Structure 1
Amino acid sequence: VEPAACPNDVWALDFQFDSDYHGRSIKVCNVMDEFTREHVGFTADSTIDAAAVVELLDVIACERGQRPRVVRMDNGPEFISKTLQSWAAEEETVQAFIPPGQPWHNGFVESLHNRMRDELFEQECFLDLEHARYCIGQWCHRYNTYHPHSALGFIPPEEFKKQFLSKVAYLSLGT
């Protein structure tokens, strides 16, 4: 699958794990836009199945006004499920599975996970699942709005997206 060419072209998905103050597991499914590097959505719960992943993708698609052309992910059971296959088939979304045991093939979301681990999970002791969801939401907003990315010319993802869309709008006026 070729690299993302515009916003909402390729979304990368992956799971990340942590626990709360009481040792209860927290599973997070993160979704990021490979073109803009935006953290476009997440769900966090004690368990997340394929139906919850599809619900997350539907919510993000509604918020953004479109589905991605490609979803990139590993071969976890939630991602290879018939539920997600059916969702992808509805609008011919390509499922791009990375080779087993090679997380670097999903490098954008792995980089996001490293930053989230360093800046949030290692710094915050979650009281419970609701506290974790709140903190992840706050971190996501900060990441998208203020975190400069070297690959984006040292501007945050939201600013990069605005500049790209402004350029596309400007160029379309000339045609």
Structure 2
Amino acid sequence: MEIADKWIQLGYTAKLVLRIVGILEATYYYRKNKASQKPRVYHGGRPIPGYSLSTDGQPVSDEQIKEWISELIADEESAYGYRKLTVCLRRDHQLIINKKKVYRLLKEEGLLQPQRKKNSHHPRRLANNREITAPNQLWEMDVKYGFIAGEHRFFFLMSLIDVYDRAIVDYHFGLSCEGKHASQILQRALWKRQQFDNENPPVIRTDNGPQFISHVFEEACQSFRTVHERIPPKTPNKNAHIESFHSVLEKECLQRNEFQSYQEAYETVTNYLLFYNQRRIHGSLYDLSPVEFGKAFTLQRITPFVVKV
């Protein structure tokens, strides 16, 4: 190409030069035009929406879908790949989702390899039946998803509740929710309740969500000397107290507000959490709020009871 261009620039006809050097005219002009073109700039494809729709048209966060996938994989009776997991999500949760998206979500969570063959450094400890007689014996943790209509995206609320006094000890509110946030919540909660020096720190109970099976959270539990137990798949009753709180939150806060911005959602939800802890009365707590009940229990002004979980 360079030799041909040189002789053509000296005044020889292109046809003669190309015949001498043995290059077809079509090949020469194709390469010349291609070299003169500007490199194509890739601007990326359609952005990932971050949710899928259910059959009734409701958006379902990708994080919620990942949690459902984790529960399906954790079920010892199944060892499904991404195609069969897609079928399960459609049947069990009425999702409109294809196998390509399920494959992508599995890949993001590192769950593509068969779980039965995967050697885990943190084996799952199943939740035991317990009798709770005081605060700071058993804490439950879970994630709630909310929708910001004005920005068409989800926010996440990860909360930690004390099973005995029903207080939300700590929480994380944000546009993402990962294992590092769960470990931060646990650390702050232990500090608030002065449990770092306790010989028997609270047991932490969660479901099988990706945040709670992460190495970051498991290593934090080991570092803080807390026992982390996970409920079996499809048994939300084992995590009844945090599930009950999320039901109350949905009814009394999320359903009553259509958020137009992240700031609006943050202020509304955090104000509700403050109300829930300090002023909202509970029938199971002698019609006291969690904070009032905690003070009365410490001062021995109420009759203790047993919570069976």
What TM-score do the two structures reach when normalised by structure 2? 0.52
Which whole-Å deviations, capped at 9, do the CAs of 1:70-124 have from their partners, x for residues lacking one?
0110011110111111111123211121111111110000000000000110011
**Structure 1 spans left out of the alignment, 5+ residues:** 169-175
Counterpart pick for 1:103 among 236, 258, 261 = 236
Q: Are the aligned partners of 2:183 and 2:221 in contact in 1 as well (CA < 8 Å)?
A: no
The match for 1:173 is none
The match for 1:48 is 177
The match for 2:218 is 85
Counterpart pick for 1:35 among 142, 164, 170 = 164
Quote how far apart the aligned CAs of 1:63 are. 2.3
Q: Distance in 2 between matches of 1:80 and 1:10?
A: 19
Instruction: Provide the identity percentage.
Output: 26
Q: Which amino acid aligns with 1:119?
A: E
Say yes or no: does 1:17 pair with 2:145.
yes
Q: Distance in 2 between matches of 1:61 and 1:75?
A: 22
Say yes or no: does 1:8 pair with 2:136.
yes
**Structure 2 spans left out of the alignment, 5+ residues:** 1-127, 302-309
Q: CA RMSD in A?
A: 1.6
Q: Distance in 2 between matches of 1:81 and 1:28?
A: 18
Q: Distance in 1 between matches of 2:232 and 2:266?
A: 30
Q: Distance in 1 between matches of 2:289 and 2:160?
A: 17
Q: Are the aligned partners of 1:44 and 1:129 in contact in 2 as well (CA < 8 Å)?
A: no
Which whole-Å deviations, capped at 9, do the CAs of 1:24-46 have from their partners, x for residues lacking one?
11111111111100112211212
The match for 1:124 is 257
User: Based on CA coordinates, which of the two structures has the bigger radius of gyration?
Assistant: 2
- Higher normalized contact order (CA 8 Å, seq sep 6+, divided by chain length): 1
Q: Distance in 1 between matches of 2:225 and 2:194?
A: 16
Q: Distance in 2 between matches of 1:155 and 1:127?
A: 34
Runs of 4+ in 1 over 3 A off after TM superposition: none
Q: Are the aligned partners of 2:179 and 2:211 in contact in 1 as well (CA < 8 Å)?
A: yes
The number of equivalent residue pairs is 168
Q: Distance in 1 between matches of 2:131 and 2:241?
A: 11
Q: Distance in 1 between matches of 2:187 and 2:225?
A: 14
Say yes or no: does 1:59 pair with 2:188.
yes
Structure 1 window deviating more from structure 2 (89-98 vs 62-71): it is 62-71
Q: Distance in 2 between matches of 1:100 and 1:17?
A: 19
Quote how far apart the aligned CAs of 1:58 are. 1.4
